[in-house]
Amino acid sequence: MRIVFDLDGTLVDSLPDIHAAASATLEDMGYLPLDRTTIRSCIGHGVEPWVVDIMRAAGASGARALWVEVFTRHYAGNGSLTRPFDGVVEALAALAPLAHFGLCTNKPYDLTLGVLEDLDLGPFQVVIGGDSLPQKKPHPAPLLAAAHALGDGPVLYVGDSEVDAATAKAAGIDFALFTGGYRKTPAEDLPHRLRFDSFRDLPALVQSIR
Region of residue 26 (phi > 0: left; psi between -120 and 50: alpha; otherwise: beta): alpha
**Alpha-carbon span 45 to 197, nearest angstrom:** 23
Task: Based on the residue annotation, tell me whether 53 is a catalytic residue of this protein.
Answer: no
Comparing C-alpha atoms, which of 120, 123, 117 is closest to residue 99?
A: 123
Q: Is the peptide bond before 203 cis (omega within 30 degrees of 0)?
A: no
Q: How far apart are CA 11 and CA 22, in angstroms?
A: 21
What is the greatest pairwise CA distance in the chain?
Answer: 53
Cβ–Cβ < 8 Å for 153, 1: yes
SS3 of 15, please?
helix
Cα–Cα dist 91/181, whole Å:
16
Cα separation, 14 vs 7, whole angstroms:
9
Residues with catalytic annotation? 6
